[in-house]
Amino acid sequence: MSTQEVLQIALELAGLSEVPADTAVLVPGQNLRKALVGIDLEGPELLWAKGEGFDLVIAHHPPGGPAALNFWQVLLRQVELMVAYGVPEGVAQAAAAELVREHRLQNHARNYLRLPALAQALGLAYVNIHTPLDEIGRKRLVQAVAELPPAATVADLIAHLRARFGEFRNAQTAIEVVVGQSRNPVGRVAVIHGAGTNGGYPVAKALFDHGVDTVLYIHIRPHEAHRLAQEYGGKGKNLVVTGHIASDSLGINPFVAALRARGLEVVPFDLVPP
């Protein structure tokens, strides 16, 4: 199997026709037989992989190269998701603007050459696949939300996600209600995932202000959760956080299964099992 074939499998599973900006073949390879797959595979993991006879390392988060430098571009997907949930486009663009600016400016401080150079020096093929695998996870979450009855509460949502996905049952973190109450009606739910990172305060605010009752993030910074709780906690609005590593694993595990089905030996590294 080649690195390009590996990438194509991820795109097909996600239903994407183009490679997103945060995904790249950092060091190409052919005739690959044994892959290490994980969320954060950087210097120590590359050295360990070389010693253990791997010829391919597949990371989820962009470790460098064009995927790291162009990561900010996929944050514009936040706008698409907000609009799909009823937020006016102008409001959605304003809500995402600061997040995009923050990540774009971080590129000036980033050493984007180090880890791809290390992989190349070690003779390892190196790929990172971010948005396609998050899109797989997002679709699984959206489908699970669609299965809830109209009168479901936030507690029902959490129970259903745990029953539906082993990643949430097996994780060491718990799904948490950080705004609102578990007894609240779940109402209209927005799943905000597969857009680089969470949208923080501005995106959740835009959704709450335009008819969404429950926002589902995979993580959020504490001060932003606190601000949202102060402003919306008493208004029947809910923010549910499912956990970063469990939720990333939700999208990566089907990809691991697909690679194995095509004959590649795959060893998961820092994934929560399904």
Whether residue 66 is contained in a domain is answered as yes
Verify that 57 and 164 share a domain, yes or no: no
Verify that 224 and 155 share a domain, yes or no: yes
Name the pTM for this structure. Answer: 0.95
Task: Return the SS3 of 263.
Answer: coil
| Pairing of β 34-38 and β 265-268 | parallel
Verify that 114 and 34 share a domain, yes or no: yes
Verify that 213 and 243 share a domain, yes or no: yes
Verify that 159 and 226 share a domain, yes or no: yes
Whether residue 16 is contained in a domain is answered as yes
In this structure, are residues 155 and 175 in contact, taking their beta carbons and an 8 Å threshold? no
- As a residue count, the chain comes to 274
| Pairing of β 24-27 and β 125-128 | antiparallel
Verify that 229 and 111 share a domain, yes or no: no
**Phi/psi of residue 54, each to 5°?**
-75, 150
Range of the domain at 240: 136-247
CATH number for the domain spanning 148: value is: 3.40.1390
Instruction: List the structure tokens of 110.
Output: 């980033």
In this structure, are residues 206 and 200 in contact, taking their beta carbons and an 8 Å threshold? no
Number of domains in the chain: 2
CATH number for the domain spanning 103: value is: 3.40.1390.30
Q: What is the pLDDT along the chain (274 residues), one digit of tens a residue?
A: 999 999 999 999 999 999 999 999 999 999 999 999 999 999 999 999 999 999 999 999 999 999 999 999 999 999 999 999 999 999 999 999 999 999 999 888 899 999 999 999 999 999 999 999 999 999 999 999 999 999 999 999 999 999 999 999 999 999 999 999 999 999 999 999 999 999 999 999 999 999 999 999 999 999 999 999 999 999 999 999 999 999 999 999 999 999 999 999 999 999 999 9
Residue 153 pairs in a beta bridge with 185
Verify that 71 and 149 share a domain, yes or no: no
Verify that 120 and 255 share a domain, yes or no: yes
Angle, helix 131-146 to helix 3-14, in steps of 10 degrees: 20
Whether residue 145 is contained in a domain is answered as yes
